[in-house]
Chain A
């Protein structure tokens, strides 16, 4: 899964999410979720890490289950099962809503946890023809993130050392970060230009990201899954 072209993976999984959005089928949703878990574990994603990421998804899924259970068609709701994607069975409706969250969460994690950041951006550049200035600007901005985390800790420590308690997202903490990130972005832009990057000039490509046979197989497998689901369910 990690070696699948990220742009193709993105398109395939996005198509699946749209397909699921128009289906009201808890069995399908749970099947997609379990398939996603199998793919994640087979791709080497650690169980512990996966469990941690799943916590917020499970909380939202539980919330959606009870929402669906409480507000099913006909139960004091001014809707009918024919007109909306709801069921007149409380359980079925709750499971369908919760399953949808789990299926979306699973597909999202399949993309996020099996895709290399740099590979993704380079693939978008080559397959979607994103502008160079956007691609390399994004990569440079990512490089700043660890510095920002460090600066955030430093700023919190400065407040603590002066006996001031502030909330983790207080504007007083975020203001210095904002000022510094403007300065950093200027320095970074100068450094990139001094290495010959302009964003408008022609460049060579050391390792262009290509679409290979296996990427088409992945796309075809996703389409086949959707077609099978449409006919069987």
Chain B
């Protein structure tokens, strides 16, 4: 009972070197294996090969064999393949094609030709297993990220594949939901014998569930075989993995006293008459770094959306004494937004223009934009579209473009989302250093408490619709 990969040579482009240069490994279904490593080391590619999605969906398998329980998943039809391997993806929003939870489960069971008279029982059993039976008639769009991942788990439970492959399943959800799902996965493995292979940058949510932790580096499996009790922090850190309980060792200047930049007074936001934020009151000072933490669906993105004008709000918000709703065009650039997905920020056709937008009135714009792009190592890409950059490059450009403005307040919605340790540290060191040096008030949201503790001067928890300060890190 295993997944067997032998001498895999895989690449996405014919003229480029192999991402997986002769990868060989075997994973046993009797245990939960977590595969970790730096971004771009080939973890997710490996998972997609084992799921039979590649090379049919993308890339070229030059050499090697993939066998799941002795069968090549790429050669099976989708109904037969899903009885062998099921997948849970990183983005819980793009895994469903029906409107309600029940209809989605029905869709799954119809695909495997289950007798309709058996479906109700199987659906209830699967939803009960995932702890979401009460959501059966709810629309999927009304669910939080954590709830959607639990519904996805119910779909997989109903399909009962022999193997479950998970591609960073906890990237979009809070720790409590992640641990509940991890416990359910363990139950699936122990009680139903489902083999589980997961890929994740962060290991903290797997500590209770995983049996074996393996590390990948440059498309190869490292020889170390770790368990949650025998993690080697030095090896993991050197390979870009986020180690539970280990500091990011921030490299940023100390905080200086600054004047208040943004003030929020009794801010409230409603979605379809449902209160999401009820009473948010806070003040943010220049040169200070603030983190907002809280479970999925607590309203972090809603708060940022209200500040950026996406959602209407009641109450008062002042940027340097001026009402945020009545800012003049010239003052708009004073509050910058770094979004979860850097592509949400791009406004120009080329990398260089993305920086120039912020400098258009200055005579020195060409020189400054060159300096900025050289600083973030993107000068050679200056004439191409920002969408053609890699994810890490897009993130660097997004931050630099905002910093090119005379920005006084920077609001970042999970700036390190789905990044490995090395990138997380590089992004946060860059953001926080700039904030300190230029006296910018920096507000960021994160699910990673360690990151908040390491970088923020003040941590705020968003719960029950309002902000609660609970920690001073003392930078």
Contact = CB atoms under 8 A, between A and B. Distances in A.
B310 interface: yes
A161 B110 contact: no
B294 interface: no
A204 interface: yes
B336 interface: yes
Contacts of B254: none
B332 A188 contact: no
Given A176-B344, A180-B343, A197-B107, A162 B332 contact: yes
Interface stretch (A26-34, A72-80, A145-153): A145-153
B405 interface: yes
B339 interface: yes
Given A158-B347, A172-B347, A195 B82 contact: yes
Interface stretch (B114-122, B225-233, B235-243, B428-436): B114-122
Interface string A186-219: 0110111111111001111111000000000000
Contacts of B79: 196, 198, 201
Interface string B86-114: 11010101111111000100111111111
Contacts of A66: none
A81 interface: no
- Chain B contact residues (Cβ within 8 angstroms of A): what range? 35 or more
B343 A179 contact: yes
A203 B94 contact: no
Contacts of B329: 163, 165
B362 to A, nearest CB: 14
User: Which residue, A140, A147, A154, A202, has most C-beta atoms of chain B within 10 A?
Assistant: A154
B309 interface: yes
Interface residues of A, number: 45
A146 B141 contact: yes
B82 A162 contact: no
Interface string A117-146: 110000000000000000010011011001
Q: A interface, by DSSP: helix, strand, loop or mixed?
A: helix
Contacts of B344: 151, 154-155, 158, 176
Contact of A192 (B97, B140, B358): B97
Given A164-B357, A194-B53, A202-B113, A143 B97 contact: yes
Given A139-B97, A161-B333, A193 B53 contact: yes
A11 B371 CA distance: 66
A27 to B, nearest CB: 42
Interface of B: 51, 53, 57, 77-79, 81-83, 85-87, 89, 91, 93-99, 103, 106-116, 119, 140-141, 155, 159, 305, 308-310, 329-330, 332-333, 335-337, 339, 343-347, 357-358, 387, 405
Interface of A: 117-118, 136, 139-140, 142-143, 146-147, 151, 153-155, 157-165, 172, 176, 179-180, 184, 187-188, 190-198, 201-207
